[in-house]
Each structure stands twice: as structure tokens, then as C-alpha cells.
């Protein structure tokens, strides 16, 4: 066991840090090319300085705090009416649409706290709390925010259009908000307290990610492995390590949601009926592909079971041949296929 350590912050306050060498928290994030930034601050040391770029002028301080409860967040303390505490983090420059999410909670006055996406020092999106205590963007009021309450904010920002959508607690508050200044890409996120206000603020779970959906390979496939009068079992090629969920569509209707597998059985179908199936892939952020494989296949007209037929990335016949096939069902239930010469 290691003794407590007192950490001073610009003479404004002290933090008592208790270290226990028998406890270790390990966190990981799956490899995903869509992820530009993901920081829950659990790998930071409580009471220590943040690994981001930090600006702590006189009367302000920034540190890692164990809030809420046993998890970490960033604490911005501001006891000045002429300065502000600021933190910022750069990420790989992104010119297409991206999502930026974070959680925040105010402990004292929230007036003029700001959340920004930038290109270098140029402000593109500027979300802040106004004097009456409401979240505001580009002069439009979004909603009232209360002290002591955690809020989740998400921006869907498109540099090409110089506009963004704003969500609070998964509810859209405004769409098509103009950028404060046009930029061709985004590469920095910044949080700050109010310059003329005494604030204290917690920031947590900051994530920035592109919204490019999973893409299927050119040799994608969707096949049926068995079928009978009222069900068809499907199997498909996987996409990549960014995919966490597959959506199976019967026509335009969602039939099955599949996680951790590349197969499904579609039941409750009608006998001797043609069906068109499509599979799409979704990543951890809900980005869904649009180029998934398709299959046209029919249920059988008797109780005999058919299996082992294939499909393609596009619509082909049920036997996978790419040509039309006549199916003749005998009185004994036997199936005979014939192709035109």
C-alpha cells in the first residue's frame, strides 16, 4: 500500500490521492479506423494533471477527479473573473462528417462554459451555456441545464456543408446549425470555463469518431444452407473487425438482428414462396452499410428439406447458378431441377 499524496493546484485547492498498488483497472478500445479520439480518463492518475493540453491561468486549475463515484473525470475549477480554465485535444484531421460526444456536469455557476470543435485555432462549432442557464448554439437556445446533473452532448458535424446537428441525452435539439466559421476539416476539441464567471465543471467520456459505415468486400456472399416450407437458414461472409451487428432484411422489413455470428434462420414463412433477403453490417457507433449482399430464394412446396445451395453478392437464382431453374415436385416429395438448354 502506498501512502496518500497531497497534490496542490495553483494554490487554489489540494487533492488527496490514495494509491493502492493491489488494484489495477485495465481498459481497452477495439481497433476501429473510425475512432479518432476516445477518452474516459480511467488511465489518468486521480489528482494529477491531465494528458491533454491544459491552460491554468491564475485563479484556475484542472485535474483528474474521481467523479462520478469510482470512475474518473476531468475537473475544471475557475475562481477567477478574468481568466478561464481550458483543456483541448487534437485528433487526426477529418474532412468528412464526424460525431463528437461528451458528458458534462456543472458544480457551480455554468454561465459561459464552452464546448468547441475547431480546425487549429479556428472555431467551427461553439456550444455554450448562456446567463439564464440554458445550452445555446449559434444564438439558438437548446434546453435548460441544471447544476449537479450529468448531460450527454453529441454533435454530428459536416465540414463540407459547414453545418452540424446537436443532440442532448440522445434527443436531437437542432439540425443544420451553421458553423461559426467555415472550415474544410476538424482536428481539435476544446472545453473551457467562463472567462468572467466563477465556474466548476466536470467533463467525461469524450469520443470522436467518423461515421463511415462498414464496407463489404467485392467477393461478399449470402447463401442459404437449408430451407423447407416455412423457414430458410442463411449464412453470409463477414465484413471486418469494426462490425458488431448484422441486420437481416426480408424485402424491406428488418427480420433479424444478429450479434457475434454470421448466420440466421428466418421462420414463419409461407410455403412455395419467393423471398428476397439482404444483410447489412453495423459498427459500434450505429453506422450501417448500404452495400450488403442479397439473395433471392424460395421456400419449398413440400415437407422435404433442401440444403447446400449458394448465393451471391447480388440477386441470383436459388441454386446459385445465375440462370433460371425449373423445379418439379413429384408425388413422393422428390424434387427435380431442369435448366433450359
What is the overall mean pLDDT for the chain? 81
Q: Are residues 205 and 229 in the same domain?
A: no
Q: Are residues 84 and 177 in the same domain?
A: yes
Per-residue CA distances from 141 to 127, 132, 298 (Å) = 10, 10, 54
CA distance 127 to 191: 10
Spatial neighbors of 41 by CB under 8 A, at least 6 apart, are 50, 64, 72, 73, 74, 204
Q: Are residues 190 and 80 in the same domain?
A: yes
Q: Are residues 169 and 315 in the same domain?
A: no
Where is the domain boundary, 171, 188, 210? 210
| Confidence at residue 286, expressed as pLDDT on a 0 to 100 scale | 75
Considering the domain boundaries, does residue 39 fall inside one?
Answer: yes
Considering the domain boundaries, does residue 24 fall inside one?
Answer: no
Q: Are residues 259 and 315 in the same domain?
A: yes
Considering the domain boundaries, does residue 307 fall inside one?
Answer: yes
CA distance 302 to 68: 61
Question: Model confidence over 182-225: pLDDT tens digits?
Answer: 999 999 999 999 988 899 999 999 999 987 788 898 899 999 99
Considering the domain boundaries, does residue 284 fall inside one?
Answer: yes
Q: Are residues 247 and 126 in the same domain?
A: no
Where is the domain boundary, 177, 210, 243? 210
Considering the domain boundaries, does residue 109 fall inside one?
Answer: yes
Spatial neighbors of 69 by CB under 8 A, at least 6 apart, are none
Instruction: State the pTM of this model.
Output: 0.61
Question: Model confidence over 293-315: pLDDT tens digits?
Answer: 999 999 999 766 666 554 555 44
Instruction: State the CATH number of the domain containing residue 293.
Output: 2.60.40.10
| Confidence at residue 66, expressed as pLDDT on a 0 to 100 scale | 83
| Confidence at residue 284, expressed as pLDDT on a 0 to 100 scale | 75
Instruction: State the CATH number of the domain containing residue 181.
Output: 2.60.120.200
Q: Are residues 189 and 60 in the same domain?
A: yes
Structural domains in the chain (count): 2
Question: Model confidence over 41-91: pLDDT tens digits?
Answer: 887 777 666 779 999 999 999 998 888 766 789 999 999 999 999 999 999
Greater confidence (331 vs 275) lies with 275
Considering the domain boundaries, does residue 158 fall inside one?
Answer: yes
Question: Model confidence over 165-178: pLDDT tens digits?
Answer: 999 999 999 999 99
> Residue 130: phi, psi to the nearest 5?
-85, 175
State which residues form the domain around 195: 33-210
Considering the domain boundaries, does residue 12 fall inside one?
Answer: no
Q: Are residues 265 and 320 in the same domain?
A: yes
CA distance 129 to 109: 10
Q: Are residues 45 and 158 in the same domain?
A: yes
Where is the domain boundary, 178, 210, 242? 210
Considering the domain boundaries, does residue 126 fall inside one?
Answer: yes
Q: Which of 24-38, 50-64, 267-281, 292-306 has the highest mean pLDDT?
A: 267-281
Q: Are residues 231 and 313 in the same domain?
A: yes
Q: Are residues 147 and 275 in the same domain?
A: no
Q: Are residues 48 and 136 in the same domain?
A: yes
pLDDT at 92 over 60: yes
Amino acid at each position: 500500500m502506498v501512502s496518500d499524496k497531497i497534490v496542490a493546484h495553483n494554490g487554489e485547492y489540494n487533492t488527496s490521492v490514495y494509491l493502492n498498488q493491489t488494484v489495477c483497472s485495465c481498459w481497452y478500445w477495439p481497433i476501429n479506423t473510425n475512432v479518432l479520439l476516445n477518452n474516459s480518463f480511467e488511465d489518468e492518475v486521480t489528482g494529477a494533471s491531465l494528458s491533454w493540453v491544459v491552460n491554468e491561468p491564475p485563479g484556475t486549475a484542472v485535474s483528474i477527479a474521481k467523479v462520478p463515484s469510482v470512475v474518473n473525470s476531468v475537473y475544471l475549477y475557475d475562481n477567477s473573473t478574468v481568466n478561464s480554465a481550458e483543456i483541448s485535444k487534437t485528433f487526426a484531421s477529418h474532412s468528412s462528417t464526424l460525431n463528437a460526444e461528451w458528458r458534462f456536469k456543472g458544480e457551480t455557476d455554468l454561465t459561459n462554459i464552452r464546448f468547441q470543435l475547431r480546425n487549429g485555432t479556428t472555431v467551427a462549432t461553439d456550444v455554450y451555456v448562456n446567463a439564464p442557464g440554458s445550452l445555446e448554439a449559434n444564438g439558438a437556445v437548446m434546453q435548460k441545464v441544471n447544476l449537479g446533473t450529468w448531460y450527454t452532448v453529441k454533435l454530428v458535424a459536416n465540414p463540407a456543408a459547414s453545418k452540424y446537428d446537436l443532440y442532448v441525452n440522445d434527443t436531437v435539439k437542432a439540425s443544420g446549425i451553421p458553423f461559426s466559421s467555415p472550415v474544410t476539416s476538424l482536428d481539435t476539441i476544446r472545453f473551457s470555463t467562463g472567462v468572467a464567471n466563477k465556474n466548476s465543471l466536470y467533463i467525461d467520456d469524450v469520443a470522436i469518431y467518423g461515421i463511415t459505415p462498414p464496407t463489404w468486400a467485392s467477393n461478399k456472399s449470402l447463401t442459404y444452407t437449408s430451407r423447407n416450407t416455412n423457414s430458410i437458414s442463411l449464412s453470409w461472409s463477414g465484413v471486418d473487425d469494426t462490425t458488431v451487428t448484422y441486420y437481416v432484411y426480408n424485402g424491406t422489413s428488418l427480420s433479424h438482428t444478429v450479434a457475434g455470428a454470421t448466420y440466421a434462420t428466418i421462420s414463419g414463412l409461407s410455403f412455395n414462396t419467393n423471398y428476397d433477403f439482404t444483410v447489412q453490417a453495423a459498427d459500434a457507433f450505429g453506422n450501417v452499410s448500404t452495400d450488403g449482399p442479397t439473395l433471392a430464394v424460395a421456400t419449398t412446396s413440400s415437407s422435404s428439406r433442401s440444403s447446400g445451395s449458394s448465393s451471391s453478392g447480388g440477386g441470383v437464382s436459388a441454386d446459385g447458378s445465375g440462370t433460371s431453374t425449373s423445379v418439379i415436385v413429384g408425388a413422393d416429395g422428390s424434387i427435380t431441377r431442369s435448366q433450359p438448354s
